[in-house]
Amino acid sequence: MDFKFLNKDKLPYLIIVFLLLIIGYQYYDNHSKDDAKEFLKINTAGIIDNKKKSLDENTKELEIEKAPEESEEIMVHISGAVNSPGILRLDSSKRVVDALDLAGGARDDADLDRVNLAARLHDEEKIYIPKVGEVQENMTTLVSSPSSSGPASKININSADLSELTKIPGVGEKTAQKILDYRANNSFSSIEDIKNVPGIGDKKFESMKDYISTY
């Protein structure tokens, strides 16, 4: 290559220009990487923060959905082929098998195949444990509750007072008071709305629905 055009006077300027180009490139390259890292850091932090907020909201919703239904004391009457027949006090979440255990268990002549031991208990329920060979038409209903024949008149959950509300199966004074508290600021447009009251879920509603109305 012919370098004759490069004289001694121009050489220093060319060197300076060359050095400035190198410095400028390095400066641009370093700042571009820093800006990219900062951009990535900000966006990553935003994504993580949004994910965390979404997770917290979903967790709260799940906790609300899983909130346990309130249990109350109920009374049932058990008779027939049991060791200790009579009136029992149990938690409203219990089942027929729990009542049978509390009554001292079944006698040797009890025919448990004719009883639904898994049935959920309701307040004022009558449970009869038949004996083996006992004739169906000559015995009391195995498991009966007010819902088996239907209530004489339904209770208006929009106007009933505390004592009237406690007549609803599965509703004690605590739940009745919660219904009144809810009703102070709301009204029930349908009987399903009663599930908005804290402590009343699908299971408790099933035992109540045949006894309540909104008018």
| Mean pLDDT per 10-residue segment, the chain (215 residues) | 55 73 70 59 61 64 53 85 90 90 92 88 86 64 50 81 87 91 91 92 88 89
Q: What is the pLDDT, as a whole number, of residue 45? A: 58
CA–CA dist 18, 135 (Å, integer) = 113
The confidence score (pLDDT) of residue 182 equals 93
**pLDDT score for 149:** 46
- 8: number of Cβ within 10 Å: 6
Asked if residues 170 and 201 have their Cβ atoms less than 8 Å apart, the reply is no
Question: Under CATH, domain 155-213 is a member of which superfamily?
Answer: AF1531-like domain (1.10.150.280)
Dist. CA 87–CA 78, nearest whole Å: 6
Q: What is the pLDDT of residue 40?
A: 57
In angstroms, the first-to-last Cα distance of the chain is 106
Residue in the structure block whose two tokens are 């060791």: 83
- Domain coordinates in residue numbering, the chain: 73-129, 155-213
Q: What is the pTM of this model?
A: 0.41
